[in-house]
Chain A
Amino acid sequence: MSKANRKTRVLAVSSGGGHWVQLQRLTPAFSDCDVAWATVRPQYRDDLADKSDRFHVLPDATRWNKLGLVHLMLKVFILVLKERPDAIITTGAAPGYFALMFGRLTGKRTCWLDSIANIEELSLSGRKASRWATLWLTQWKHLAMPDGPEFHGCVLPNLLQDDDDAVVQEAHKERSQ
């Protein structure tokens, strides 16, 4: 199939727990795409809305485990080469960081969506990953900055969100002092 009429290939990557739950909530945005998912637990395959999507399992490593991180990095590198995505999106943490790094270095579109749990400050991995992200998003309006991250809504719209603009303005005022 020629490149012009093939579906856009998306690689959606995250670690486990809340990161995976948040990634799943983006599914409707990939409705017209060819999607591959990558996360750290084989059982998460059951969560996919479309069971025909490709699903990859990565080793679970945090930034406290150096050897595990090297292993994970290699696995993610191979995954990105194999999947040849047009766009990579992640909700964190370590697997997403490496996916964005290799993605950016090989010219893909890359998006870091910082976890909604980071209410008062951006995650460390998010700040580090921002250099590899063509789109850097926060889920809290008061954390958005002119040079990024941007705010365009969140994954839990009626559960965890900014109460009102007064809170946002207060936060901006505090930071600018």
Chain B
Amino acid sequence: MIFVSVGMQMPFDRLCQAVDAWAGDNGRDDVFMQIGETDWRPSNVEYTELIDPSSFKARVRESTLLVMHAGIGSIVTAFECGKPVLVMPRREHLHETRNDHQFATARKLVGLNGVVVAMDEIELVKRLDEMSIEEVPMSISKTASPELLEKIHAFVHGSK
């Protein structure tokens, strides 16, 4: 199962349309998409506009490959569940987000185990063709860094 998700804030048709076309071209019937609140409708895959947090996690767990926008919540869930993820950033100049922070996040993710970055929809389709579900993501820590936890602990207790 391939699970596509673009988060709850805004749609990301460019990503969803590319995967929908790819699924049609390749006769894939194992793709499920969360597309956001948009007028566009996929023609080759099952979809939902929005998804609640527990169904989101359940979908992630039962998938072998994730395709997601470069949002922190999506990426962290993918790594926490140990699933390989194909990430494509929203772009500011295409009005897909308010600034290019996802582009910066995507560039930071390049080269990490278990994540493949596609900078646009053309690269996304290429990567979908070659992406291996065997790849196991690196394990990540469950909490913030010790230094940050110590700083916040001191802050809440009013010590410097």
Query: CB within 8 Å of B: which residues of A?
Result: 8, 10, 16-22, 25-31, 33, 41, 43-44, 46-47, 62, 86-87, 89, 109, 111, 113, 115-121, 135, 137, 139, 152-160
A159 touches B112 (CB 8 A): yes
Give Cα A51 to B85, complex, Å. 30
Contacting residues, chain A, for B140 (C-beta < 8 A): 156, 158-159
- B62-73 interface mask toward A, CB cutoff 8 Å, 1 = contact, 0 = none? 000000000111
B76 touches A21 (CB 8 A): yes
B7 at the interface (CB under 8 A from A): yes
Instruction: List residues 61-102 of chain B with CB under 8 A from any CB of chain A.
Output: 71-77, 79, 99-102
A46 touches B53 (CB 8 A): yes
A43 touches B53 (CB 8 A): yes
Give Cα A20 to B144, complex, Å. 13
Contacting residues, chain B, for A27 (C-beta < 8 A): 143
B148 touches A47 (CB 8 A): no
Q: Shortest beta-carbon distance, A9 to chain B, in Å?
A: 9
A89 touches B156 (CB 8 A): yes
Contacting residues, chain A, for B102 (C-beta < 8 A): 117
Q: Shortest beta-carbon distance, A30 to chain B, in Å?
A: 6
B144 touches A25 (CB 8 A): yes
Q: How many inter-chain residue pairs (CB < 8 Å) link A and B? A: 135
Q: Are A154 and B157 also in contact (CB < 8 A) when A25-B142, A119-B101 are?
A: no
B52 at the interface (CB under 8 A from A): yes
Q: Shortest beta-carbon distance, B12 to chain A, in Å?
A: 13
A29 touches B76 (CB 8 A): no
Give Cα A137 to B147, complex, Å. 12
Contact of B77 among A21, A117, A154, A160 (CB under 8 A): A21
Contacting residues, chain A, for B53 (C-beta < 8 A): 41, 43-44, 46-47
Instruction: List residues 103-160 of chain B with CB under 8 A from any CB of chain A.
Output: 104-105, 108-109, 112, 138, 140-153, 155-158
Contacting residues, chain A, for B156 (C-beta < 8 A): 8, 10, 29-30, 33, 86-87, 89, 109
Q: Shortest beta-carbon distance, B137 to chain A, in Å?
A: 10
B54 at the interface (CB under 8 A from A): yes
Q: Shortest beta-carbon distance, B123 to chain A, in Å?
A: 20
Instruction: List residues 23-79 of chain B with CB under 8 A from any CB of chain A.
Output: 52-54, 71-77, 79
B148 touches A22 (CB 8 A): no
Contact of A18 among B72, B146, B152, B157 (CB under 8 A): B72
Give Cα A159 to B144, complex, Å. 11
Give Cα A41 to B142, complex, Å. 22
A115 touches B148 (CB 8 A): no
B148 touches A43 (CB 8 A): no
7 tightest A-B CB contacts, nearest first: A18-B72, A153-B148, A153-B147, A153-B145, A29-B152, A152-B151, A17-B73
Give Cα A19 to B29, complex, Å. 33
A156 touches B76 (CB 8 A): yes
